[in-house]
């Protein structure tokens, strides 16, 4: 099994290589970069995966609480999963996917967005699980970007999501970023339109970073929107591809 990159520079090279084949599809079109866990789904599929494998996700949570969303913490997060081996990924990905709910309107959004431009799921969780989820809902042609996979491992966290956004921004007409937490902060700040999906923690770690963003929207799947932010349903998010790109 290929080891995880040891440094952030080595890792960046691997992330760039992972998305290189998508550049032509993004050129001259809107690009939607969409988080998975707690964004398209109310669940955290990575935690579900670990528990199904008999592991406690608490050490990962404690590492993030101690160090923040830095490369070393995301590498530790990936290491825990990768140590389970290829057989565990083969055995558990489909099982976790079958039990993973999606928010109402999420699939309709993905279908409409792929007709407008390039839409990618950008996951700090397990891409194999997200590919299985998308396949179950008939949108398996939506690419999933993420590195917790024994077949092509790399670290994919806060900074790496920004790297992807920056790379797509260089060729796309606009970037629509969709996320729920501080892991998505840099991606959303680089997006022309930033969409916050109201999560179980009411995005307390994300919203303070977006106060100066010129185009912030929200989706409130539970019907509890934040005051002062424009609201869209999931099924209408694709229309942001038609919105004027704000000056940044």
Of 239, 163, 218, 132, nearest to 5 (Cα)?
A: 163
pLDDT tens, per residue, the chain with 248 residues: 789 999 999 999 999 999 999 999 999 999 999 999 999 999 999 999 999 999 999 999 999 999 999 999 999 999 999 999 999 999 999 999 999 999 999 999 999 999 999 999 999 999 999 999 999 999 999 999 999 999 999 999 999 999 999 999 999 999 999 999 999 999 999 999 999 999 999 999 999 999 999 999 999 999 999 999 999 999 999 999 987 766 55
Q: How far apart are CA 172 and CA 139, in angstroms?
A: 22
| 221's tokens | 């799947």
- Classify residue 209 as exposed, middle or buried by CB count within 10 Å of its CB (0-12, 13-18, 19+): middle
Q: How far apart are CA 145 and CA 105, in angstroms?
A: 22
Q: How far apart are CA 189 and CA 107, in angstroms?
A: 25
Give 43-80 as a 3 state SS string.
CCHHHHHHHHCCCCCHHHHHHHHHHCCCHHHHHHHHHH
3-state DSSP assignment of residue 27 = coil
Q: How many residues does the chain have?
A: 248
DSSP 235: G
> What pLDDT is stored for residue 247 in this prediction?
56
Name 231's bridge partners: 218
| 176's tokens | 């629509």
> What pLDDT is stored for residue 104 in this prediction?
96
Q: How far apart are CA 218 and CA 233, in angstroms?
A: 8
> What pLDDT is stored for residue 119 in this prediction?
98
- Kindly list the structural domains of the chain, giving each domain's residue range(s) and its CATH number in brackets, ordered by start: 8-242 (3.40.50.1000)
Of 58, 72, 238, nearest to 142 (Cα)?
A: 238
| 41's tokens | 């789904």
> What pLDDT is stored for residue 68 in this prediction?
97
> What pLDDT is stored for residue 48 in this prediction?
97
- Beta-carbon count within 10 A of 92 CB: 20
> What pLDDT is stored for residue 248 in this prediction?
56
Q: Is the pTM of this model over 0.95?
A: yes
> What pLDDT is stored for residue 1 in this prediction?
76
Strands of 193-197's sheet in order across: 144-145, 118-122, 30-34, 174-179, 193-197, 216-219, 230-231
């Amino acid at each position: 099994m290929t080891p995880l990159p040891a440094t952030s520079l080595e890792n960046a090279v691997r992330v760039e290589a992972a998305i290189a084949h998508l550049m032509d599809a993004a050129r001259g079109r809107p690009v939607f970069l969409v988080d998975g866990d707690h964004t398209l789904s109310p669940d955290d599929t990575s935690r579900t995966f670990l528990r199904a494998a008999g592991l406690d996700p608490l050490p990962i949570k404690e590492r993030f609480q101690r160090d923040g969303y830095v490369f070393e913490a995301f590498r530790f997060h990936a290491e825990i999963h990768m140590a389970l081996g290829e057989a565990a990924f083969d055995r558990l990905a489909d099982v976790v996917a079958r039990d993973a709910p999606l928010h109402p309107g999420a699939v309709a959004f993905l279908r409409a967005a792929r007709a407008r431009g390039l839409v990618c799921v950008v996951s700090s969780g397990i891409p194999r699980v997200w590919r299985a989820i998308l396949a179950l809902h008939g949108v398996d042609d939506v690419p999933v970007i993420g590195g917790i996979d024994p077949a092509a491992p790399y670290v994919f966290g806060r900074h790496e999501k920004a790297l992807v956004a920056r790379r797509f921004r260089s060729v796309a007409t606009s970037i629509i970023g969709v996320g729920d937490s501080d892991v998505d902060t840099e991606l959303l700040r680089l997006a022309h339109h930033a969409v916050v999906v109201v999560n179980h923690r009411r995005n307390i770690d994300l919203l303070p970073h977006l106060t100066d963003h010129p185009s912030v929207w929200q989706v409130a799947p539970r019907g509890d929107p934040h005051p002062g932010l424009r609201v869209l349903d999931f099924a209408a998010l694709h229309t942001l591809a038609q919105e004027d790109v704000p000056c940044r």
